[in-house]
Structure 1
Amino acid sequence: MASRIYEPLRAAIRKGEGEKVTAQEILDALGPRAFGLSIIVIMAPVCLPMPPGVPTVAGVILSIFALQLILGYKSPWLPGWVKRLKINRKKLLNAIDTLERRLIWVERVAHPRWKFMTSGVGVRLIGVVFLILGFILILPIPFLGNLPPAIAASILALALAQRDGLLAFGGFAAAAGAIAFTWKLALATVGAINGYFG
């Protein structure tokens, strides 16, 4: 059975010609679920070992989308420099495949329910959590430190795309775990630095 989430993403990435695809081309092809699906696309590369700058850029874009959700935007808007960002189609498709394998169980249980959590005030609350996760991704954290916030953001994005309020609560729990993990990692790093120079 074709994936309700990942197949539309793959179709959006494959659309057009050339080795690379721009962020705007993907956004234009995603349709009415653009917020949720766009965030999944953004988080997919962060779930793989990538150069240090990738999570930072992903965190900035996630923060931009988060602010728009908080302000009540109905569809995502990107600044010009983000619209023009070019991404290798093959690498992005590979990243989507990896994310699907990790979150396939989430998609299987996701369906529209508790819609109050994915509309109105609920969407704004999700936006606040996205903003916190985006800030964490901007920080210079090693790969494993970026993985929990990326997974949490992906679960919340799936909840938005599927209008699944119960899944949104699961995303909040994952986000709380990601924040706690990052805090402990930061304390351990500071302790190691103090121990080295102490």
Structure 2
Amino acid sequence: MSTRSASLMSILKRIENARGDEQITIGEIVNLIGQVSFAPLLIVPAIALVTPLSGIPLFSATMGIIIFLVSSQMVLRREYLWLPQWVLRIRANRRYVKTAFEKMHPLVKWLDRRTETRLTVLTHKPLVFVPQLLCVLSGLVLPLMEFIPFSSSMVGLSVALLGIGILARDGAVVFLALVPYALVGGLVWKVVGA
């Protein structure tokens, strides 16, 4: 069992069990995770895209902006994450977020049982820039995915897998992330062709 993936599960639990007002902000989530934990800060909005939260108008675009900002700062090797104040102030219903994340527990647990340190050439410099740049590009295209059903969830799954692969130093999971991208490509081709 990967202790790194297990820590991801504990991060989800931390967000789910955080106490406060009925609303939770992006700023609170960043504080719960920590501004130096770039991979989890990349994974959490990506996982949110796979949940029913992705059905909220402009949610995919907002998560895309966050993914773009986090992954681009990973590429730039920044020590601490910076997000604009308007992003940090974005609010969501705390109970809705908890319910949506709880639906992802089976997937996170499944990945936890299967991640291990392997094919680390893909998770260290210089090749680690490949999955990081894929996340940057994903963040840029996510606002466009609002118009293609299910596509934002597929991109979110890919970004989550890339983040987990980087976090767990598991190059096999990085490879696995290419599968949802391929499905999105086929879906876009079908929509454009129609």
TM-score strictly above 0.5: yes
Following superposition, the deviation at residue 13 of structure 1 comes to 4.4
Following superposition, the deviation at residue 32 of structure 1 comes to 7.7
2:21 to 18, 21, 27: 18
Matched, 1:135 2:140: yes
- Residue 149 of structure 1 is matched in structure 2 by 155
Partner Cα distance (2:22, 2:10) in 1: 19
Letter in 2 for 1:22: T
Return structure 1 stretches of 4+ with deviation > 6 angstroms: none
Matched, 1:66 2:102: no
Partner Cα distance (1:71, 1:182) in 2: 32
Partner Cα distance (1:92, 1:52) in 2: 15
Following superposition, the deviation at residue 123 of structure 1 comes to 3.1
Residues 37-79 of structure 1, C-alpha deviation per residue, up to 9 Å, x if partnerless? 2222212332225222100111111111121122122443211
Structure-2 change in CA distance of 1:161 and 1:95 (3 Å) = farther
- Does the 8 A contact of 2:75 with 2:132 survive in 1? yes
Residues 92-131 of structure 1, C-alpha deviation per residue, up to 9 Å, x if partnerless? 1222222333454222111233334223323321121012
Structure-2 change in CA distance of 1:161 and 1:31 (3 Å) = farther
SS at match of 2:112: helix
CA RMSD of aligned residues (A): 2.6
- Residue 9 of structure 1 is matched in structure 2 by 12
Matched, 1:90 2:131: no
SS at match of 2:129: helix
- Residue 29 of structure 1 is matched in structure 2 by 32
Residues 131-162 of structure 1, C-alpha deviation per residue, up to 9 Å, x if partnerless? 22223311032431222111111111211222
- Does the 8 A contact of 2:35 with 2:81 survive in 1? no
Matches within 5 A, 1:32-111: 34-47=37-50, 48=52, 49-111=54-116
Q: How many residues align?
A: 188
Structure-2 change in CA distance of 1:101 and 1:143 (3 Å) = farther
- Does the 8 A contact of 2:42 with 2:71 survive in 1? no
Deviates more, 1:67-76 or 1:77-86: 67-76
1:163 to 164, 169, 177: 169
Partner Cα distance (1:8, 1:108) in 2: 17
TM-score (norm 1): 0.80
Choose between structure 1 and 2 for higher RCO, CA contacts under 8 A separated by at least 6 residues: 2
Indicate the structure (1 or 2) with the bigger Cα radius of gyration.
1
Deviates more, 1:35-44 or 1:153-162: 35-44
